[in-house]
């Protein structure tokens, strides 16, 4: 028998299968095609031209969002990890020769889902499949937040002041092409003395299976503790809560104790 090479993809994929990783298990449990009718709502408008590259498969992009929430990573990190990790490619049904959607494509897809009000319905359906397969959350909850950077805006001081007031500068409204290139919802925040511009991805995963149960996306300026209430999962029968100290003020800790949660810093 000849010596197998390091890049023997078939052998490595077999080893991944044998390990029964969580991503392989998800592909076995979740009937992904059932999500397609909901996802296709963002493509209801007919294409103006058939020229150019075909749109990226909506189901592929949705599974990338599942990966992102499962591992709590940014759009740029998601693009890198899908290109780098065989387990991610296998989960998505991609080969080494296939093109991986870039971070901008993922961001635009997520924006379209939000604009159509589809995000909650999709992840409630996803959670229902997990519950039906016996992945009930019962060992406590882990809450965390990840900064999602976006390209910095070249705005004037007056424009930024208008945005902070929740309004769009009049000049942008009069020039739709300029407005289309502006992110009017991202905000600045400072962490460990470094300024960041973009959003925050707040997640709640169960301590047992490490699967995302709840999430919230805010601009970066929103303090972690402000979304704790909507992140807590009443269906998780465990009473433990693991969280960064940013979530747990003295008052919040006392309230959590009153409703039956034992908190732990991480």
Chain Cα centroid distance, residue 78: 9
pLDDT recorded at residue 106: 93
DSSP 3-state of 250: helix
Helical spans, DSSP H, in 93-197: 103-115, 119-132, 157-164, 170-173, 176-180
DSSP string, 177-216: HHHHT--SS-EEEEETTEEEEEEEEEEEEETTT--EEEEE
Is residue 16 pLDDT above 60, yes or no?
no
Sign of CA dihedral 224, 230, 232, 233: negative
The b-or-e profile of 98-115 (16+ CB within 10 A means b, else e) is eebbbbebbbebbebbee
Cβ–Cβ < 8 Å for 215, 123 = yes
Under the banding of pLDDT at 50, 70 and 90, the label for residue 2 is very low
Helical spans, DSSP H, in 55-102: 58-71, 75-84, 86-92
The predicted-structure confidence for 21-43, as pLDDT tens digits, reads as follows 678 888 988 999 999 999 999 98
pLDDT recorded at residue 264: 54
Under the banding of pLDDT at 50, 70 and 90, the label for residue 4 is very low
82-105 average pLDDT score: 92
139-147 average pLDDT score: 82
**Of 125, 30, 95, 106, nearest in space to 62 by CA:** 106
The CB density around residue 69, as the number of other CB atoms within 10 Å, is 19
The predicted-structure confidence for 199-245, as pLDDT tens digits, reads as follows 888 888 877 766 777 888 888 888 888 888 788 777 776 667 777 77
pLDDT recorded at residue 233: 78
What does pLDDT average to over the chain? 78
**Of 145, 125, 4, 11, nearest in space to 69 by CA:** 145
2-11 average pLDDT score: 52
Beta bridge partners of 264: 242
The CB density around residue 138, as the number of other CB atoms within 10 Å, is 13
Please indicate whether residue 92 or residue 254 has the higher confidence score (pLDDT).
92
Cα–Cα distance measured from residue 258 to residue 239, given in angstroms and rounded to the nearest whole number? 11
**Of 233, 229, 228, 241, nearest in space to 213 by CA:** 233
Is residue 256 pLDDT above 90, yes or no?
no
What are the extents of the domains in the chain?
9-44+54-132, 141-150+186-265
Sign of CA dihedral 111, 148, 249, 212: positive
């Amino acid at each position: 028998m000849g010596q197998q090479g390091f890049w023997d993809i078939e052998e490595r994929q077999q080893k991944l299968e044998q390990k029964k990783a969580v991503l392989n298990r998800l592909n076995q449990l979740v009937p992904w095609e059932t999500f397609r009718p909901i996802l296709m709502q963002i493509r209801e408008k007919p294409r103006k031209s058939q020229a150019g590259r075909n749109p990226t498969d909506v189901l592929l992009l949705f599974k990338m969002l599942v990966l992102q929430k499962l591992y709590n990573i940014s759009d740029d990190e998601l693009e890198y990890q899908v290109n780098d990790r065989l387990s991610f490619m296998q989960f998505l049904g991609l080969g080494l020769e296939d093109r991986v959607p870039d971070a901008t494509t993922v961001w635009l897809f997520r924006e379209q889902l939000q604009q159509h009000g589809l995000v909650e319905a999709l992840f409630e359906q996803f959670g229902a499949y997990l519950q039906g397969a016996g992945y009930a959350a019962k060992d406590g909850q882990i809450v965390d937040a990840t900064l999602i950077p976006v390209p910095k805006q070249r705005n004037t001081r007056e424009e930024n002041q208008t945005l902070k007031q929740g309004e769009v500068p009049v000049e942008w409204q009069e020039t739709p092409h300029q407005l289309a290139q502006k992110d009017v919802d991202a905000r600045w925040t400072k962490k460990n003395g470094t300024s960041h511009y973009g959003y925050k991805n707040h997640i709640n995963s169960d301590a047992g299976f490490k699967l995302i149960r709840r999430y919230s996306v805010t601009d970066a300026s929103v303090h972690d503790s402000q979304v704790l209430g909507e992140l807590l999962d009443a269906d998780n029968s465990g009473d433990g809560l693991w969280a960064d100290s940013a979530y747990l003020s003295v008052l919040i800790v006392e309230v959590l104790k009153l409703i039956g949660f034992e908190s732990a810093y991480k």
